[in-house]
Amino acid sequence: MDLQNNRGTEARFEAYAAKLAAGLGHADRVRPFHDYCVGLLSAEGRKSVEPLAALTAPERTSAQHQSLLTFVAESPWSDDIMLAEVRKQVLHAITRKEPIQAFIIDDTSYPKKGKHSVGVTRQYCGERGKQDNCQVAVSLSVATHQGSLPVAYQLYLPQDWADDAARRAKAGVPAEIEFRTKPEIALAQLRAALSAGLSAALALADAAYGNDGKFRAGITAAGLLYSVGVFSSLLVWRPGEEPPPQEQGGRRPRRKAGETRPEPVQVKTLAKQLPADAWQTISWREGSNTVLTSRFARQRVRPAPQAARGGELAAEEWLLIEWPEGEAEPTRYWLSTLPADISFERLVDLTKLRWRIERDYQELKQEVGLDHYEGRGWRGFHHHASICIAAYGFLISEMETIPPSAGSQTWYGRRSGVPAGYRPGGAAAAHAAPHAKLDRDPAPALGADPGSYTAAVSLLRPNPAAARCAD
């Protein structure tokens, strides 16, 4: 891309940043916000506050460091207002070809060595695939087949933190924040998104959420359909079977001599008993090197845990099962309230759209440093995430300006380059491992798709040979 086009990218960024900055509440916050975004989009390597300050103001790094640190860790601007403006500016880029198809619920983890960062405790760490010392944040993204965007993001506050007044006060946890499970946080995010006017869409989640009957019921109560992962041990009633009528008080009538009654079965058991012709090979999207294809079966079932609630029989829904060729047993299971007459291919396609959240987290961490924040407080944790999502939103909106054949580009911004040999604190830290969790499709490699985010990022990386000193 020539210099004029690079200047076009810079001009679009300046306009985008100005619109977002209008919601910061004070003019003194505009410049730090702008520079923080520039740093996230331009810096290579560690993207904590110190290296961002060195990149954006190398001639006055100490003062810039304090300015950025105050802005991200202390300034009382609203994350909700920021994310709402990002939605307003970016959703058009992913909804040009189709409306929002899905809400994707998920969480991401941040391994920590110490115990003082807000919300850190020993818990399941998806980043490492085991119990470990970490923070966990719950997010909600909206998705189409063309792209996705996080629209809500909140730290999960474990019970031991929620009950510890001293630690809460030191970390600046707001008084209104109480202990809530991750599914409860996710449902609140869904309800808030609908109240904010986002279109109703299919809710997608992995088995850590979908196996929770209350969570599924909460999605239904919000007026949404879902297609969510469940564990292989989940009990369901086989097609055409249901529990016997209950007596008053919720008790089952006594079994008569010689009487056989249907019993619920684990979805794994049901899957293994299906005949060979129940399985179909279905493709759902282009992967990095080939079309993604696997074997699936589907059955209409009733979830057993919900069947006895209040004596009300659970409605039938789809059980979708994946059993890839060469595997000893099925690998994934989903429950879905998508219509009974939906095509098999469409059911798989929509259910598998959850891969988009993997791309979100991969890009947010590797390209804009979502997991590089080193502060310990509640406000700074969420402010950093909001600015990362804002920077990511610009990359999403910029993708459509990049032709598939675009090579590495640079942004000739009006700022100094980093002094030769400068090594900010934290620069030696290893990059976090790619986001990992059970029951997930692997995210595509960065740059695998035409017009990828990586190409957009390269437009914003400073070119030392062409950089010009500010003022």
pLDDT in tens, 294-335: 999 999 999 986 544 445 678 899 999 999 999 999 999 999
Q: What is the pLDDT of residue 384?
A: 97
Query: Residue 88 is encoded by which pair of tokens?
Result: 């307003």
Largest CA distance in the chain: 93
Q: What is the pLDDT of residue 453?
A: 52
Q: pTM score, two decimals?
A: 0.84
Q: In 2-16, which positions are buried (b, 16+ CB within 10 angstroms) versus exposed (e)? A: eeeebeebbeebeeb
Q: What is the pLDDT of residue 246?
A: 59
**Residues 21/32, Cβ–Cβ less than 8 Å:** no
pLDDT in tens, 384-438: 999 999 999 999 998 766 544 444 343 434 344 444 444 444 333 433 443 444 4
**Element spanning 348, H or E:** helix 344-351
Torsion of CA 258, 263, 269, 274, to 10 degrees: 80
Q: In 314-327, which positions are buried (b, 16+ CB within 10 angstroms) versus exposed (e)? A: bebbbbbbbbeeee
Q: What is the pLDDT of residue 313?
A: 73
**Residues 303/234, Cβ–Cβ less than 8 Å:** yes
Query: Residue 342 is encoded by which pair of tokens?
Result: 């939906």
Residue ranges of the chain with per-residue pLDDT less than 70: 1-5, 244-261, 305-312, 400-471
**Residues 79/155, Cβ–Cβ less than 8 Å:** no
Q: What is the pLDDT of residue 245?
A: 66
Domain spans in the chain, listed from the N-terminal domain onward: 1-89+375-431+449-471
SS3 letters across 73-90? HCCCCCHHHHHHHHHHHH
pLDDT in tens, 333-363: 999 999 999 999 999 999 999 999 998 999 9
Task: Report which of 177, 163, 137 is spatially closest to residue 382, judged by C-alpha positions.
Answer: 137
Per 3-state DSSP, the chain is made up of helix, strand and coil in percentages (nearest 5) of 40, 20, 45
Instruction: Tell me how far apart the alpha carbons of residues 81 and 22 are, in angstroms, rounded to a whole number.
Output: 10
Instruction: Tell me how far apart the alpha carbons of residues 31 and 346 are, in angstroms, rounded to a whole number.
Output: 47
